[in-house]
Amino acid sequence: MKFQKVMKFGGGCLRDADGFKRAADIIRKEAVPPAVVASAVAGVTDALESGLKRAVKNEAGVARTIRAFRTQHRQLADVLLPTPQIREDAILQIDHRLIRLERLLRGAALIGEASPFTRAHVLSYGERWAAILLAGVLREKGLDARALESEQIGLAADESPEDASADIPAFRRAIKRNALGLEAGRFVPVITGFYGVASRRRIASFGRNGTDYSAAVVAVALHAPLLEIWKDVDGFMTADPKRVPEAKPISRLSFSEAAELSYFGAKVLHPRTLEPIAGLNGTIRIRHLLRPDRAGTEISAKGRTTENILKSVTHNNRLAVLRVFGAGVGCKPGIIGIIGRSLADHGVNIISVITAQTIINVLVAESDAGRALKILRAIRRGVVTRVDLETGLSLVAAVGEGLTKRKGLAARVFTAVAAAGINVEIISSGASGVATYFLVRKEDALPAVRALHAEFFEARAKLKPFALPPVSIRIGA
C-alpha cells in the first residue's frame, strides 16, 4: 500500500512538549498511517551553530554545549514519555548521538576549523533528536512509530555540503532495496528533515529551513500525492500579518504563485520546496498546528483565478543592487554570462538581473553585497567602465496568476504606490507571468506594501480608467 500523505512538522510546531503532543494527536487521527518528517526543536539549530563556533575557538566550551543539549532533550523526554521503557529507549538514542556530536565538536576544536561538511553534520543533530522524541510520543499513543535518519533510508544528496539537492532517483532505488520496508500501514516512519547523504556517507544539508524541501523529496520518492506542511501560521496570507494587520488568508495558490512569493520574501515556505513536486500533479497543503480544523493554503498546479488577480504582496529588505556600467554592456555578448559565472564561482547567488543599454543591475542578498562588489570590480573586462553598489533598497513584489496579462493591472499597482507618495527606483515586469516587482527605498517598503494591500484587498475597488499621479520611475534600469 502506498503512502497517501507525508506530514512535515516544523520547528515552530515542535518548540515544546505541548507542540509534540499536538503533532502526535494530528498524526494519530490519520486513517492510513502517514510518513512524517520532523524539524529540529525551535532554536536548536541556532544553538548547534553557536556551539560549533565556540568549539573552533576554544575546546573548553564543548562539554558545556553537550550538557545543555542533554538537559534540554532529557527534560522533554521526561515530560513527553511517561512509560519507562519508551523514555529510556529515547534517552539512550539521544545520548548515543550526543557522543557522536561531541566527537565532531572536539575534532573541530583540535584543528581550529570546521569544514562545510562538518558544519552540515553538526547542524543535523537537531532533527535527529526531534525525530526520536516525536516517534516516542507516537508510541505512547499506541502507534508503531520509528525514528529514521536520512542515512538509514538512503536519502541521497549531491556534493554541495550546505545547499544540496536531493538525488531522487537514487533515493527511490534505496527505498526499494531498503530492508526497513517503507510501506504505508506497516509503521509510522518519522524521518529526519534538513539533510541528505553525499558520497562517502558525508552529511549534506539542504540549507537552513530546508526541512520543507526534504519533506517534498520524501513525498515524491514515496509517490505520496499529498504533502502537508504543519507550521505555526495559517498558511500564505495576502501580506505579512505581523506588518499588515488586515491581511487575509489565501485558500489556494498555483505552484508558480507560491514559488514567486517564497522567492521574493514570504517566509511561509522554503523557496525550493516546490522543485521536486511541480509537474507531478502533487498537492501541498500548509496547515496551522493550533488550528487543525482550518484548511490552510492548498498549492497545486492549477491554483485558482480570482477577480482581482493579485493574490499577495510581499517585500524583501535584505538585498543590494550592483550597477555595472558601460557604453554597451546591455548588448555586449557574454557580459551577463561573465558576471553570473564570476559570482557563482564565489558562492554568490543572483536574485535578479535587470538590464539596459548602458547598465546591468544585479540584485544580490545584502549579506553578499561587499564580496560581490569586489568580484565584479575585478572583472573590468571590455566595455565595463564602473561597478557601483547601492544599498538601502527593498524589493516589493505583487504576485498573482495572470497579473501580467490583465490590462491596466500594472498601472493600478503603480498608481496605488504613487498615491502613497512613494517613488519607484526600478521596475521589472514580464520576467515571470505571475509577478511584478519593483525597488523602493527601504523606508518606503512597508508603506508600499500597505498601499497595495489597501488597494487590492481592502477597498475591493473595481478596475476603471484613471489618470496617473506624478511619480518618478526608472523603468528597467
Domain boundaries, the chain: 5-232, 316-390, 396-475
* Position 308 confidence tier, pLDDT thresholds 50, 70, 90: low
Residue 472 has pLDDT above 60, yes or no: no
Task: Give the single-character DSSP code of 156.
Answer: B
Residue 1 has pLDDT above 90, yes or no: no
* Position 428 confidence tier, pLDDT thresholds 50, 70, 90: confident
Residue 461 has pLDDT above 50, yes or no: no
Residue 147 has pLDDT above 90, yes or no: yes
- Does the fold of domain 396-475 match that of domain 316-390? yes
The model's pLDDT over 360-370, given as tens digits with 9 standing for 90+, comes to 899 999 999 99
Distance from C-alpha of 203 to C-alpha of 120, rounded to nearest angstrom: 6
Q: What is the mean pLDDT of residues 157-183?
A: 86
Distance from C-alpha of 330 to C-alpha of 476, rounded to nearest angstrom: 11
Residue 82 has a pLDDT of 98
Beta strands in 220-325 (DSSP E): 226-231, 252-254, 283-288, 297-300, 312-316, 319-325
Q: Which helix (H) or strand (E) holds 303?
A: none
Residue 106 has pLDDT above 70, yes or no: yes
pTM for this entry: 0.87
Residue 305 has pLDDT above 70, yes or no: no
Residue 204 has pLDDT above 90, yes or no: yes
Distance from C-alpha of 319 to C-alpha of 369, rounded to nearest angstrom: 8
C-alpha cell at 42: 525551535
Distance from C-alpha of 234 to C-alpha of 304, rounded to nearest angstrom: 18
Residue 464 has a pLDDT of 42
Residue 405 has a pLDDT of 76
Residues 13/232, Cβ–Cβ less than 8 Å: yes
pLDDT above 70 covers a percentage of the chain that reads: 91
Residue 231 has pLDDT above 90, yes or no: yes
Beta strands in 221-318 (DSSP E): 226-231, 252-254, 283-288, 297-300, 312-316
The model's pLDDT over 17-31, given as tens digits with 9 standing for 90+, comes to 999 999 999 999 999
Picking from 69, 20, 81, 22, the residue whose alpha carbon sits closest to that of residue 43 is 69
Higher local confidence (pLDDT), 146 or 409: 146
Residue 477 has pLDDT above 60, yes or no: no
Residue 43 has a pLDDT of 95
The CATH architecture that domain 5-232 belongs to is 3-Layer(aba) Sandwich (3.40)
Residue 385 has a pLDDT of 85
Residues 402/309, Cβ–Cβ less than 8 Å: yes
Residue 53 has a pLDDT of 96
**In whole angstroms, how far apart are CA 411 and each of 238, 293, 353, 396, 469?**
20, 39, 22, 15, 11
Measured in whole angstroms, how far is the alpha carbon of residue 217 from the centre of its chain?
14
Assign residue 279 a region (left: φ > 0; alpha: ψ between -120 and 50; beta: otherwise): left
Class of domain 316-390: alpha beta
Residue 381 has a pLDDT of 61
Residue 280 has pLDDT above 90, yes or no: no
Amino acid at 338: I
Q: The domain 396-475 is classified under which CATH number: 1.10.3080.10, 3.30.2130.10, 3.20.20.70, 3.40.50.12500?
A: 3.30.2130.10
Residue 302 has a pLDDT of 76
The model's pLDDT over 54-67, given as tens digits with 9 standing for 90+, comes to 999 988 889 999 99
Residue 391 has a pLDDT of 92
Choice among 77-86, 124-133, 184-193 with the minimum mean pLDDT: 184-193
Residue 180 has a pLDDT of 59
Q: What is the mean pLDDT of residues 394-415?
A: 86
The model's pLDDT over 340-351, given as tens digits with 9 standing for 90+, comes to 999 998 889 999
Task: Give the single-character DSSP code of 349.
Answer: P
Distance from C-alpha of 12 to C-alpha of 35, rounded to nearest angstrom: 19
Residue 406 has a pLDDT of 77
Residue 279 has pLDDT above 80, yes or no: no
Residues 314/399, Cβ–Cβ less than 8 Å: yes
Distance from C-alpha of 419 to C-alpha of 406, rounded to nearest angstrom: 21
